[in-house]
Amino acid sequence: MSRTTVLKTYKLWVGGAFVRSESGRAYPVRNARGEFWANAPQASRKDLRDAVQAARSAYPSWAKRTAYNRGQILYRVAEMLETRRAALRDELHAVLGVPPSEADAEIDASIDRWVYYAGWSDKFGAVLSAVNPVAMPMHTFTVPEPMGVVGIACPPEAPLASLSSLLAPAIVSGNTVVALLPEDVPTVGLAFAEVLATSDLPAGVVNLLSGSPSELLPHLAAHGGVDALNLCGAPDATRAPLEQAAAETITRLHHSPRLTPDEWRSDAAQGLHWLEPYLEFKTVWHPLGW
């Protein structure tokens, strides 16, 4: 008996749940050979607002968790990535047209990235904090704190490794994220949402949207509930109005470098300097005890 192949229709990942776009829209994603591969949801402005609200609601409890616990959860994401290696290999091979060996290299880099930042979870505070000398009988301490909700425009290059390289340093310190996946290759990120669904990451800490950057990015940049914005995946020609919109709500702007696929899979895409832009530094004054 002949059978029909069941083609996948992905959903958005918002508030710890897979949801359809409220507009009901979807668009076809093609593989490297130009053939239909899957349907991806086309997020609307309402979906974006829902994602920001989910991230906003998740932020207080995520920020209050111990550094050790956040590290455990990031390590759990790495474990779940490892268990879904075969499915992600097939996804990368089909969508990007890369050989299985290169797909495996990207999965390895992504797993290593989550393990790397899991290790930083209880250490970056000690490295970035300071005891400041002052000419009075006081102690002053400067300590890093999370910023809040981070909006990220993800690039299409090495879509799994770049997504991991942008998400992990943002959330390890206690921030939550709304990420807009690359329009042409969103299914890798949406497949990664299935990894998050089976990890211990609390609902709303990471929210993943697919759709049109020209439709969604202006609203993400102008949203008053977003505290920081990384325009890594936004074309240079579109950044000026987005930066202006972000400035009007006093949103912290950051541009991670637009790397090549090989660079996203290398140590160039990790480090303390990838984590630091998502931190605020609070200085506390305390009188000396006698």
Q: What are phi and psi of 56, to 5 degrees?
A: -65, -40
* Overall pTM > 0.85: yes
Sorted by sequence, the CB contacts under 8 Å of residue 152 that are 6+ apart come out as: 166, 167, 170, 177, 178, 179, 180, 229, 230, 232, 233
Cα torsion at 50, 147, 236, 264 (round to 10°)? -100
30 lies in some domain:
yes
Sort 22 into a burial class: Cβ within 10 Å, 0-12 / 13-18 / 19+. Answer: middle
List the CATH number of the domain containing 224.
Answer: 3.40.605.10
Task: Give the model's pLDDT for residue 269.
Answer: 97
86 lies in some domain:
yes
Sorted by sequence, the CB contacts under 8 Å of residue 161 that are 6+ apart come out as: 106, 109, 110, 113, 261, 264, 265, 269
Question: What's the CA gap between 159 and 110, in Å, rounded?
Answer: 10
Question: What's the CA gap between 244 and 30, in Å, rounded?
Answer: 34
Sorted by sequence, the CB contacts under 8 Å of residue 224 that are 6+ apart come out as: 249
Distances (CA, A) of 214 to 31, 44, 259, 260: 23, 11, 22, 23
185 lies in some domain:
yes
Question: What's the CA gap between 252 and 169, in Å, rounded?
Answer: 16
Question: What's the CA gap between 48 and 222, in Å, rounded?
Answer: 12
224 lies in some domain:
yes
User: Tokens standing for 216?
Assistant: 């969604």
3 lies in some domain:
no
User: Tokens standing for 16?
Assistant: 């710890």
Question: What's the CA gap between 154 and 197, in Å, rounded?
Answer: 20
2 lies in some domain:
no
Q: Containing domain of residue 255, as a range?
A: 8-287
Domains of the chain: total: 1
Task: Give the model's pLDDT for residue 290.
Answer: 55
74 lies in some domain:
yes
Tokens 């109005």 — which residue?
Answer: 241
Q: Report strand pairing: 8-9 vs 36-41.
A: parallel
- Residues of the chain short of pLDDT 50, as ranges, are none
218 lies in some domain:
yes
